[in-house]
Structure formats: C-alpha cells, structure tokens
Structure 1
Amino acid sequence: MSAVGSEAPPCSTVPEAVHRRRWAILAVLMLSLLIVVLDNSILNVAMKTIATPPPTGLGATHSQLEWAVNSYTLVFAGLLFTSGLLADRLGRKRVLLAGLVLFGAGSVLAGLSESPGELIAFRALMGVGGALVMPSTLAVLMNVFERDEQPRAMGIWTGGVGVAIAVGPATGGLLLEHFWWGSVFMVNVPIVIAALIAMAVLVPESRDPAPGRPDVPGVLLSVAGLVLLVYGIIKGGQLADFTDPEVLLTVGGGLAVLAGFVLHERRSRHPALDVRYFREPAFSAAVTAVALVFFALMGVTFFMVFYTQSVRGYTPFQTGLLLLPLAASQLFFASRAELAVKRFGARATCTAGLLAVAATMAAFVLLGTDTPIWVLEVLFVVQGAGMAHVTPPVTVTIMQALPREKAGSGSAVNNIFRQVGGALGVAVLGSLLSAAYRGWIDGELAGVPGLSEGDRRAAGESIEATRALAERMGPAGRTLAERADEAFVHAMHVTVAASAAVTLAGAVVVAWFMPGRPGASEGKGEREWRRLPEGPAERAVDGALDDARPRG
C-alpha cells in the first residue's frame, strides 16, 4: 500500500524476539489508541445530556460544549510536536506509560466535574495525556514491523479509529441510560489499567540515538495561535457575525502567531516541526487529506447528535446505534484499502475516497424533520467507506517519508493534522451551524410576547435552549418547538454544504499532488523522496532497538 516506497529492505531490521510478538504489540497499541479516540466519540453522544441543567447535566451552553471538545483537541494538537520529540529522545514506551497515567487521572477528574469550566479544564489535562500516547503508538508500530508489513499494520491502526467510533457512541448511550453523565469518562479507567499492564510486559523500548532538543518556543507559538484562531471562530458563531471586531482580531491574531510559528521553525536548529518536509507535494497533500477527513468526521458527529436526539427524538443509546454504520464501514474498508492502492495507486484511491466523503456531506441536505432514518444510515456507510480509503494511504505516505528513528516526529505530524482538522471541524461547522440557526430562529423568537432581549438571545443560542423555552410556554410553545426543528435542519443544510465544498477542494489537491500507481514513472525528486527512510540513521536505531530487546 505504500505510497512512498515499495521496496523492502534486503534483510530483517527488527530483532527476532520483537518480530515474533509484533501482532500482540499491535493489539496493545490499539488498546491505547482506543481510549484516546473512544473518549471523543463517547463525548459526542453525551453532549445533549451535559447541556441539560443540573442535576441531570451541567447546563453547558453550545459554546461550552464546543470548548469541552476543543480544550482537549487544542492541547493535544499543541503538544504533539514536543511529545513526538520526547518519545524519540526519552523512549516511546516510557512516554506511552506516562501518557496513559495522565489520561486516566484526567478521566476521573472530568467525570467528577461540577461545572462546565471544570470539565473544560480536566479535558485539557486529558489532552496532555492523549498527546503523549498517540504519537508513540504509531512510532512503536514503525519500529516493530518490517517495511513491507507496515502498510498492513497501519491499515489496522487506522481501522482502530473505526472501532473506537463504533464502540464509543453505543457505549456512551448505554452508560447514559443507566448512570450519570460522568460515567462516560470513568469507563476509560479500566481500559487504561489493562493497557498499562500489557504494555509493561509486551512493548519494547526504542528511541532516537541522536535526538534534537524540545522546541519550547515553537510549542508555545503553536498553542497560542491555534487557541486564538479557534476561539475567534467559535465567537463568530456565538455572535452570528464573523465581521465583529473581536472575531476579526482574534482570528487575525491567531493567523499571525501561526505565521510566526512557521518562521521560527524554519530558522530553528531543533524545530518541533521540520517544515522542509512540506516542500514535497505528496507529503503536503497527504497531511491535507487527513486533516480534511477528520474535519468532516468531527463536524458531522458533533451536529448529528443534536439532529438525531433533539429533532428526531432518539435516545443517546439509539443515537450510538445509528452511528454504527459509519464506524463499521470505516473499519471494514480500512483493512482493504491496501488492495485498492496496489491496483489503482494512492492518488486515485485517496481522490475517490474524498469525493465519496464530499458527496455524502452534500447528500445530508436530503435529511429533514421526517426523512426515513435509513437514508441517514446509507449515507453513513458511504461516508465511512470513503474515509477508509483516505486515512491508511496518507498515513503510510507520511510515516514512510521519514527515517525510522524519527518515527515519533512523523507520527506527531500525522496526528497534529488529524486533531487540528477535527478541532476546526467542530469549531467551523459548529459555529456556522450556530450562526445559521440563530439567523432563522431570531425571527420566530421576536414574536414571543413578554420575552426580554437577554432571554431572546439566550433562547436563540441552540435548539436545546429554544426547546427549553417552548416547554416553559406549555401548549403555546408547541409551534415554537416545531420552528426550532425546522431552523436546525436549515442550519444543518448550510453547514454540510460548506463542508462538502471544503472536502471537494481537498480532493482536487490530492488528485494533483499525491503519487500515482506504484512503479509508475516518477521524477528525480520523487525517487529521492522515496529513498529518504533508508539511510544510516535507520540502521543506527535498529541497533539501538536490538540492544533494548528482552534477553533470554
């Protein structure tokens, strides 16, 4: 499936003791990956419950719900650069274990939160743990599998995201039907304990024999830039006005800081992100593709929960079951994407996958307040299949572009664009949804007698707030509740149309820049790019790994 290199090394580079238990190690890595992705998919189902006033929920507003997601993803994304470098320097197993401990502690504290502010803060702590876990899993994978087996292993690794998406919503819905909302975080604890024990026994230690220094200024610039950018987008949705001075200043400031980050990385002797890799069109196209796929996935799952529960009346558990086709389709096709790449090439496979995602996003405009639910399920199957033909090939492209000893840094690049894409998907699509909803429902709220300006603005922030007002109005609020459903569906149509356009643009980028079929004619630059991972440094880390393998 490799889009970057197709020739295996002439001899084994992985110690025999490690090679024999490589699939068991992959299973442990999948368990670690499961909790990181599982948490976000569970949280999506719990959104409506957390928005409910105490004691059932926390009474979180629409923007607070977005920050409950984005506080995790922004901290995660901001620390991925440094965590990848730490894993290469200190040892990937050691960093993995530390990350799991932090993630478990953050899960317990998040489950015991007494306010939306506490939940946001403890979700950020979980982001620190997740940032230590995610890059290390893929880095370990690159060091325990031979090059010719890496595409298959990475296909299974990316398919693990589908497993978490499948297990998360249904598990979250089941927990919410029998326990309090905090149980969706407490479920992480036994998984963390099992992963810690299995990892201590099975996973070998590996590290970069010549690591660079952590780039603290670069990390701070990246975190500050992302926070400003996403905060401005969320604020624009709250105000229903993206031209507001506060929005323009924060978004502009975020872009300026991120530009400073790029300039700093270009000049730094030990950059957190080596921007020279982005000079290669195939590499840039790969990270663009993975960002857009998760932009669509996180954005859709965020607002689809409100569509199924608020508009269609399904329970959290039923909503989780409705999301299963999306996850099952992704899981089924992810392990088979290698066959498509071998036959048609990475360019055709990824382009077709992105076109399928864009088509399903556009087709969501078919959904109304009473559309047969099987239409949604069919769209989920097609979308999952499209995503599955994008993520494995681009992951291989990114990871095999780097020497093996830099696997932590390469994994950080892959995951940073996953998480930034997901964070921006929630922020951009969530804010667009909020703005479109308010633009429609404000006219309806203006006709409600005796409603103050402050109450009118609060009631127009989300469909849940409008429905709460309608319930307080008694029988007279039935019409307002119906109008709220119509306003939400209208806002959803606007949102998915915008997402489809962005994904379509990504398909064009991939079709233009991704490499074609293996063995096809290629230029000198691309041949050199394919040979990049096979240098003396790779052989050096193989020796370090051999020294670290268990004896006897």
Structure 2
Amino acid sequence: MGTAGAAANRRPDRWVILAVLCLVQLVVILDNTILNVAIPSLTKELGATTSQTQWVIGAYSLAQAGLLIAAGGFADRYGRKRTQLLGLVFFGLGSAGAALSSTAGELIAARAAMGVGGSMLLATSIAIVVRTFDGEELPKAMAAAMGVGSLGFALGPVIGGLLLAHFWWGSVFLVNLPVCVLGLIGVARLVPESKDPLGDRPDLLGAVLCTVGLVAGVYAIIQGPGYGWTSGRTLLPAAICVVVMTGFVLWERRTPHPLLDMSFFRNARFRGAVSGGVLVSFGMGGSLFLLTQHLQFVLGYGPLSAGLRTAPMALTVVLLNLTGFGMRLTTKLAPPVAIAVGLTLMAGGLAAIAVLGHNGSYPGILLGLLLMGAGIACAQPAMGGAVMSSIPPERAGIGSGLMGTMSELGNSLGVAVLGAVLTAGFASSLPAGVPQGAARSLPDALAAGGPGKAHQVHSAFADSLTNAQLIGAVAVLVGGLVAAWLIGRAGTAPVGGGTVPGQPEAREPEPAPAA
C-alpha cells in the first residue's frame, strides 16, 4: 500500500488514543519513583528498615519485571485492549490497598499487586502504538510515549514531595485512582482491539519459572548485606535463581509455544537494545533512589524541596521533546550513535551528581540532572525502536513486554544492588563505637552514635552514597557502549519479518472509531 493509501486508512482519533495511552503509562511509571521521597516518612511512621523500604520499591518493579513478558504474551493471544482494561482494574485496587496499609508488610504486598496491574499496562502500551501508527508518524508516536515514560520516572519525586508536604504518605497512592477511572473510560471507548491472528497458547510454565527466578535473585541481592553474602539465607535464593532461570531458558527452547522466543536473541540489534536497556535502568533506577536520600538525609531538604530539585531532568526531557529537538537529532544520527551519545550524557550526569554534589553543592547536582535529561531524550527513542524493529509485528505485545521487562528488571536490580552497596559501605565506614547493625538506616546510625558522632556518621553516609552513585554511572556508560556496539554490528533485516520504525507494515484491519 502506498503512502497516500496508508494515510487514508489512518484512524482520525489516533492522537487521542496516544494521549490516553500516555496518561496510563505516565501513572504506572511514575509509581516507580514517587515513593523515593517518602522513604524517611515510611521509616518513621511504619518503622520500616532499609531492607523493607527497598522491598516496598522493589516489589512493585519486580512484579512488573517478572510478569511483563507473560502479560505481553497474554495480550497478543487474548487482546491488547482487554489486557489494558484488566491492568487498570488491578492497578487501581492495588493503589487503594497500599493507601490503607498499616504495616510495612501490608504495603509491600499491595505494591506487588500494583505491579501485576502495571505489567499488563506497560506490556500493551507500546504494542498498541505500533498497531495504531505507521509511516513517518510511528517514530513521533514512539518518541512521545517514551518521553512521557521518562517524564513519569523523573516527576515521581516532585509529585510525591508535593503530596507529602500537605497530606500523609498514603496520598501518593490515592492519586492513582482518578487516573485509573479516566483510563478505563478512555481505553474502553477509544482504543482499538488487536491480537495475534495465530493465537498461540499461553506459556504458563514459562511465566511461573521466569517470575520465581527473578524474585529469588533480587531477594538474595537485597538480603545479602543484612544476612551476609556467604550466609545460607543469601546463597539459597541465589542458587534457586540460577537453577530456575536455567530451567526457564531450556523450557523456552523446547516448548512449541514459548513465552519468549529465544531466536530473538540471534539478532544483534535485539541483544544490544536489551542488554543496554537493563544496564541503563540499573544505573538510573538505583541512582535516583540514592539521590532522593542524598537530598534529604545529607543536604537536609524536606520531601517537597527534594522532589522539586529533581525536576530539571524531567523539564529537560519535556523541553527537548516538545520542541522536536530530540526527535530531529535522533533521526539524523544513526541509532548506534544516538544511543552512545545519549547514554554517555546520562553517565556524565550521574557522575556529576556523585562528585560535584558530594559536599552539598546543588549546582553540581543540577548540572548532572540537565545532562541526564538530554541523554534520555537522545537515546531512549532509538533504543526502543531497536527492540520493536527486531521482532515480528504480530508479536508486538511480547516486544512491548520485553521493553518494560528490561526497564523494570534493571530498575529493581539497581535499587537492590546500589542500596546494598550503600548499606555495606556505610556499615564499614561507621565510627568506632557505633554497631554495624545501625547501618540499616541513617536515623538508626545517628541514634546509636549520639550527638558527638553525628558529623562522622553523616560523612560516612555521604561517602557511601558517592561510591554507590559512581557505580550507577559506570553501569549506564557500559550499557551505552555495549548497546551501540551490538546494534552497530546488526543488519537491517528484523527477526521474523518485523518492521523498522518509520516504515509501513502490513497490519490487520482495525475496527471503526467509536461513535
């Protein structure tokens, strides 16, 4: 079909559909970081330890990472619109449960339930975009969707700080409910239904193995500093992770209807985007988790002030997307170059925050946030396009799920690993007379050390933060170089006949717009 014919068949309400999808995606991704500024409140009001606060954040990301691929397969089989609606229901119910939690354990369980709903939403958003747009409009729509995702990731601390300045910590969850209601109305009326015509059976065993393996691995990472890395309580879940994930790979290679087609990994562009995406999310998620603690515990800002001081990154992403500068830059540069440049900027920003902000210099943190925003606007559309162009269009749900999985898995591991690095470094740097067990949180260490050792405890915490943030910067830089190198080596032919973003694809007929 020619360009004119393709344009004639485009839905007139496609940009409204995109707006609905962006709204849903915004609130799901926003909940990855909205709790970061509430960590001190959770520590005081719920008596949560550092490990528990990591689980409050990590349970949400981990549930998404474990179920996104399964949710993508479910969406391809049973319908992407149907999956979106189910996801909104689960997400809304989980948000209500989180707001009403009275213990850290209840909050962790509610956050996991939210993650289940979030997995359904993230697994279908990009897939619906790919099925709704084509030609020259597809890269613009992809950039808009990913830009909103980055905006939600960065605006979380701002909105969380604003709510905490006027309400109790549960308000950061109640704000999701009206968005869920609007999303249900918009998706039900506007979003077209689409599914894989082949209708493969869902791989239930693969979904179980993937989820169990990821949960066991992150549990070992989070609990390692507390129990000891050689403790049986750390080694046992680590071993379970290795065994179960090995079984997952073997099962996916032999089952006729795999959850994740391992042939995708034969494509170097796909491998580059996936590996780079995991490392980038690792550095970004973990470093922003540390940054909010840096602003509050080290520099002494309140929740709202700390949230507002992370806003420049989000504003930079929005400015570059609204002006079209980011899109023009990424379309002029080859994808490997755009990814390498963008992720180098992000790594430089993280390093600037760690080094220049170490002694209480917010201008240094500001410089880092601006560099990170520019890097996101440059690299993310190119990386997302590399994934979606590497798989067949009828498996768009799996592709969208994979993109979400690499982001959520990297974010969860970043919080766990860099949080563990912070705890371990803090424990080893505490002044004499302060027990290492007090390193569970800065308030505990200050209480154990007393006023006479407060300065030493603060310095130990700041030094440990800097070291953990630098590890995050290195992870982002390595991720950018790996992704750019692998994608640069790849050919242009997608796996299984997929399409390259910006080129028309053969697509199933869509239903007429809703009246």
TM-score (norm 2): 0.93
Structure 1 residue 364 displacement after superposition: 3.3
List aligned pairs for 1:12-411, cutoff 5 A. Answer: 12=5, 16=9, 19-52=11-44, 57-239=45-227, 241-334=228-321, 336-367=325-356, 370-411=359-400
CA distance in 1, matches of 2:2, 2:33: 39
The one-character-per-residue Cα deviations of 1:210-256 (angstroms, maximum 9, x if unpaired) are 121111111111111111111111112224x4343432332233123
Aligned with 1:504 (options 472, 477, 484):
477
- Matched letter for residue 89 of structure 2: V
What secondary structure, in the 3-state scheme, does the structure 2 residue paired with 1:528 have?
coil
What secondary structure, in the 3-state scheme, does the structure 2 residue paired with 1:515 have?
helix
- Matched letter for residue 191 of structure 2: V
Aligned to 1:532: 497
1:447 is the counterpart of 2:433: yes
Q: Is the 8 A contact 1:95 1:133 kept in 2?
A: yes
Structure 1 residue 162 displacement after superposition: 2.9
Aligned to 1:5: none
- Matched letter for residue 23 of structure 2: L
What secondary structure, in the 3-state scheme, does the structure 2 residue paired with 1:390 have?
helix
1:465 is the counterpart of 2:465: no
CA distance in 2, matches of 1:212, 1:406: 10
CA distance in 2, matches of 1:416, 1:15: 35
Structure 1 residue 528 displacement after superposition: 3.2
CA distance in 2, matches of 1:278, 1:110: 38
CA distance in 1, matches of 2:78, 2:117: 16
The one-character-per-residue Cα deviations of 1:133-177 (angstroms, maximum 9, x if unpaired) are 111111111111013321111111111023323432222112111
The one-character-per-residue Cα deviations of 1:505-548 (angstroms, maximum 9, x if unpaired) are 223312321138xxxxxxxx82432882269xx64x523x2xx3
Residues matched between the structures, number = 510
Q: Is the 8 A contact 2:389 2:499 kept in 1?
A: no
What secondary structure, in the 3-state scheme, does the structure 1 residue paired with 2:278 have?
helix
CA distance in 2, matches of 1:297, 1:500: 8
Q: Is the 8 A contact 1:14 1:144 kept in 2?
A: no
Give RMSD over aligned pairs: 2.3
1:549 is the counterpart of 2:515: no
Aligned to 1:485: 458
Aligned CA distance change for structure 1 residues 65 and 294 (closer, same or farther; 3 Å): same
The one-character-per-residue Cα deviations of 1:335-375 (angstroms, maximum 9, x if unpaired) are 54332233220111101122222223333342456432111
Aligned CA distance change for structure 1 residues 369 and 296 (closer, same or farther; 3 Å): closer
Aligned CA distance change for structure 1 residues 210 and 9 (closer, same or farther; 3 Å): farther
Structure 1 residue 428 displacement after superposition: 0.8
Q: Is the 8 A contact 2:283 2:476 kept in 1?
A: yes
Aligned to 2:425: 436
- Matched letter for residue 179 of structure 1: F
Structure 1 residue 205 displacement after superposition: 1.4
Structure 1 residue 458 displacement after superposition: 4.0
Q: Is the 8 A contact 1:337 1:393 kept in 2?
A: no
Structure 1 residue 81 displacement after superposition: 1.6
Aligned CA distance change for structure 1 residues 468 and 213 (closer, same or farther; 3 Å): farther
What secondary structure, in the 3-state scheme, does the structure 1 residue paired with 2:300 have?
coil
Q: Is the 8 A contact 1:51 1:58 kept in 2?
A: yes
The one-character-per-residue Cα deviations of 1:87-112 (angstroms, maximum 9, x if unpaired) are 11221111111110110110010010
TM-score (norm 1): 0.87
Aligned to 1:495: 468
Identity of aligned residues (%): 38
CA distance in 2, matches of 1:389, 1:369: 27
Aligned CA distance change for structure 1 residues 360 and 170 (closer, same or farther; 3 Å): closer
Structure 1 residue 82 displacement after superposition: 1.7
- Matched letter for residue 494 of structure 1: N
- Matched letter for residue 296 of structure 2: Q
What secondary structure, in the 3-state scheme, does the structure 2 residue paired with 1:329 have?
helix
CA distance in 1, matches of 2:476, 2:163: 34
Structure 1 residue 457 displacement after superposition: 4.6
What secondary structure, in the 3-state scheme, does the structure 1 residue paired with 2:148 have?
helix
Q: Is the 8 A contact 2:269 2:390 kept in 1?
A: no
Structure 1 regions of 5+ residues with no counterpart?
A: 1-7, 449-455, 471-476, 517-524
CA distance in 2, matches of 1:194, 1:253: 41
Structure 2 regions of 5+ residues with no counterpart?
A: none
CA distance in 2, matches of 1:9, 1:416: 35
Aligned to 1:451: none
Structure 1 residue 267 displacement after superposition: 1.1
Aligned to 1:4: none
Aligned CA distance change for structure 1 residues 480 and 12 (closer, same or farther; 3 Å): farther
Aligned CA distance change for structure 1 residues 461 and 201 (closer, same or farther; 3 Å): same
CA distance in 2, matches of 1:231, 1:337: 38
CA distance in 2, matches of 1:511, 1:163: 24
The one-character-per-residue Cα deviations of 1:257-292 (angstroms, maximum 9, x if unpaired) are 212211111111111111111111111101122222
Name whichever of 296-305 and 108-117 sits farther off: 296-305
Structure 1 residue 14 displacement after superposition: 7.7
Aligned CA distance change for structure 1 residues 399 and 336 (closer, same or farther; 3 Å): farther
